[in-house]
Amino acid sequence: MLNNVVEALGWIGALTSFAAYLLFSLNRISNGYVLQAAFLGGGIFMAINGIYHDARPSAITNLAWCSIASLTLIRLARSVPFTAAQPQEYPHDPLLLPTADTPLCACTQTNYEDIDGAQESQ
Domain boundaries, the chain: 2-81+95-109
- pLDDT tens digits along 66-86: 999 999 999 988 886 666 667
Alpha-carbon torsion angle 57, 62, 67, 72, nearest 10: 140
- pLDDT tens digits along 19-67: 999 999 999 999 899 999 999 999 999 999 999 999 999 999 999 999 9
The dihedral through the CA atoms of 46, 50, 55, 59 has a sign that is positive
Number of CB atoms found within 10 A of residue 36's CB: 20
